[in-house]
Structure 1
Amino acid sequence: MGLHDVIQENRPLTVEQAEATDEVFDQVAPASDYRDQVVSEFLELDPVPLHAQTRDQKLPVEVDRARRAIRNVADSSNRTEANVEQRVKQVYDGPGEKDSEIARFAEDLKEIESQL
């Protein structure tokens, strides 16, 4: 069993999901463990249409879905939602608007989903 097999064994993703994720995000990037968990959660969640969102300020459907996935990972890992979000967005270099980074992250998650 090689190092790649050991790493894959500890991931919360199927082999196909891991391969699609690795095409979008570098497997050895910071916080890849959290990103894998968020990808797994994202793929499990159904999109909630704008009219069905319960928040005051409606979010684009995929951004809402990404935020819910982050929230679920935070809840299950005893971390704050802000901490998990900050960690998964570490993969994006340079300064940026918080909203644009989460939108970019949501697009990357959608790209992973489309590859499956």
Structure 2
Amino acid sequence: MTTTTEHNERIAKLTFASVYPLYVVKVEKKGRTKEELHQVIEWLTGFNEKDLRVLIDENLSFETFFQKAKLNSNAHLITGVICGYRVEEITNPLTKQVRYLDKLVDELAKGKKMDKILRKA
């Protein structure tokens, strides 16, 4: 499935602050912790917990959020399907980055081991 221009624009305008609480609920409902979520987000973006609080308070769009991020050099190892899209086939860079984050949160919620989520071994 390919993304449309409208889909990519909608993703870019979403705010991290609006999606973050949904990530927290998703992982905690499955027995994982907010600290583990922060570890996953920091691995992908370079943002620590303090950074996240500031970014949430600034109510940044995903576009600005990922412009400020330092994407992990191993992010390209994130593959698979999330929200009906195969991550490695997404051509829009921002949409791909957002789906990387969605995929990592999904893997955390599904109980995958942290080493696997963080593409260590």
Q: What TM-score results when the alignment is normalised by the length of structure 2? A: 0.30
TM-score, with length taken from structure 1: 0.31
Asked which structure has the greater CA Rg, the reply is 1
